[in-house]
Amino acid sequence: MYNNDVKFSLWCDFIQRDFLDGEFKELVNDKIINGATSNPAIFKSAFGTEIYKTAVKNSDKRHPKTLYEILATQDIKIAATRLIKNYANDDDGFVSIEVDPTLSNDTEATIAEGVRLYNSIKMPNVMIKIPATKAGFDAMSELISQGININATLIFSPEQAKGCLDAFKKGSEIYAKRYPNTPLPKGVISIFVSRFDRLLDAKMASKNLPTAQIGIMNATKIYHIIQDQNLPNVRALFASTGVKGDELRADYYVRELMFANSINTAPLDTIKAFIKEKTQPKTPSSKENINAFFQVVKNAQIDIEAAYKELLSDGLMAFEIAFDDIMRNLS
């Protein structure tokens, strides 16, 4: 745990073979990170490097999705092995792999793929990452009920978070009845942050409202919802915490969201910037302050509900495009 006093974890949002074999081990051993996440965009970038091209060339498999899963699950298993001591010590130690993003509206296919990926990796500290869609909620519940850890991703709205919480609660209750007196599978709710500011900051500035704030306030609102539910096996995870450009310090979103009982998964450069100097945990803005903030936003005719829909649609599309690009490149 990066900060044991407040149970704040720092996970690395990056997976690549040479990194896992080198710097990743150092970050884990130095107790800087205690978890990792991946997504199709990360694997798309990684698979363009020579080590993966050589692996593909030497493989006797030719179906692109089969090749992808071999490469991705190998990396996830390496990361899980590096993190297994953390997991054994109840210090997170999780690594996430996402189901095929084109399945985001297919519950049964998502369940089948989640089970297959989890069983193929054969590590207890793997999380199956599922987009927070209506079909995704049902898949999350079923997989949790089977004892599979879940990372619910692409959460932008409070309603999505509530859907995840309902799914985790239902699945956990079923699991507890099936396997009493055993630890519950874990779940994280990945709240995306910086994309709000990139989408809305120009509008905020035009209304003389503060910039680089709406993503943090929205994330904090969702954090309160998760904390209030008080599910023992579920935590808030802040994602999309890298910055674009030089207007903000590189670790801005990690510092501003260093809340108790939370996780921040960040790009490697963001982590390096964050650990350069000691940071004190933050006290989240109150619910009253958050509600007042969003009332001001509403009065300025900035449509946050439209932003929720646009960001989710864009996020799903970006992962699908990255996945399709991987399939084409492996063909």
319 in any annotated domain:
yes
2 in any annotated domain:
no
In this predicted structure, what is the pLDDT of residue 29? 96
100 in any annotated domain:
yes
**What SS3 state is found at 131?**
strand
Q: Which amino acid is present at 184?
A: L
In this predicted structure, what is the pLDDT of residue 245? 83
Q: For the range 166-169, what are the long-range contacts, defined as Cβ-Cβ under 8 Å and sequence gap of 24 or more? A: 166/137, 166/141, 167/137, 167/138, 167/140, 167/141, 168/140, 168/141, 168/144, 168/231, 168/233, 168/234, 169/229, 169/231
User: What count of other Cβ atoms lies within 10 Å of the Cβ of residue 64?
Assistant: 16
The residues annotated as belonging to the active site are: 129
In this predicted structure, what is the pLDDT of residue 75? 97
**CA 84 to centroid of chain Cα atoms:** 19
Q: Which amino acid is present at 128?
A: I
1 in any annotated domain:
no
pTM above 0.95, yes or no: yes
Rounded Cα distance, 315 and 155, in Å: 10
Q: Give the chain's domain count.
A: 1
User: What count of other Cβ atoms lies within 10 Å of the Cβ of residue 280?
Assistant: 9
**What SS3 state is found at 248?**
coil
Strands 262-266 and 35-36: unpaired
CATH for 215: 3.20.20.70
Q: What is the extent of the structural domain holding 224?
A: 8-330
pLDDT per residue rounded down to tens, the chain (331 residues): 799 999 999 999 999 999 999 999 999 999 999 999 999 999 999 998 888 988 888 887 779 999 999 999 999 999 999 999 999 999 999 999 999 999 999 999 999 999 999 999 999 999 999 999 999 999 999 999 999 999 999 999 999 999 999 999 999 999 999 999 999 999 999 999 999 999 999 999 999 999 999 999 999 999 999 999 999 999 999 999 999 888 899 999 999 999 999 999 999 999 999 999 999 999 999 999 999 999 999 999 999 999 999 999 999 999 999 999 999 988 8
The number of CA neighbours under 13 Å toward the Cβ of 152 is: 33
The answer to whether the beta carbons of residues 201 and 208 sit under 8 Å apart is no
In this predicted structure, what is the pLDDT of residue 160? 98
In this predicted structure, what is the pLDDT of residue 246? 85
In this predicted structure, what is the pLDDT of residue 89? 97
Residue 305 Cα distances to 129, 196, 204, 218, 308, angstroms: 24, 12, 15, 11, 5
Handedness of CA 82, 77, 121, 241 (dihedral sign): positive
3 in any annotated domain:
no
In this predicted structure, what is the pLDDT of residue 109? 98
Rounded Cα distance, 5 and 280, in Å: 11
Rounded Cα distance, 225 and 157, in Å: 11
